[in-house]
Amino acid sequence: MSLRTLLTVPAAVKRGEPFEVRLLAQHPMETGYRRGSDGALLPRDLLRRVEARFEGELVFSAELHAAVAANPYIAFWLRVPAGGVLTVDWQGDRGLAHRESRRIDAA
């Protein structure tokens, strides 16, 4: 399963200063309640969970449900004591798993 995602963070931050992390995934978030053009229910297909790790340590995670809009967008703020790699893992129905990483320098 493939997923197009966008992980937006500053390339460089100041140690200990907050910066915004923006996560975006191109995904229909099909609820399982809608009918297709043939009248049959479209099977549920949701992104279920997203986890963000900085240098391997879990820093933020979220569980998504059917009411989350298509192409999920989530934003939050982090602060880090030193530079490192932020890794974001998306998990969804049908065995979907997708990882994206970004290096963040801290001065």
Give the interface with a copy of itself as residue ranges (CB under 8 A).
18-19, 54, 57-70, 72-80
The answer to whether the beta carbons of residues 88 and 78 sit under 8 Å apart is no
State in angstroms the smallest separation of the CB of 42 from a copy of itself. 14
Taking the complex as a whole, the smallest distance from the CB of residue 65 to a copy of itself amounts, in Å, to 5
Task: Reduce the DSSP state of residue 4 to 3 states and report it.
Answer: strand
Output 4 or 65, the one with its CB closest to a copy of itself. Answer: 65
CA-wise closest residue to 25 among 39, 41, 10, 46? 46
| Amino acid occupying residue 55 | E
Measured from the CB atom, is 70 or 97 closer to a copy of itself?
70
> For residue 74, what are the β-bridge partners?
23
Structure tokens at 87: 């890794």
Nearest distance from residue 36's CB to a copy of itself, in Å? 16
Which of residues 67 and 107 has its CB atom nearest to a copy of itself in the complex? 67
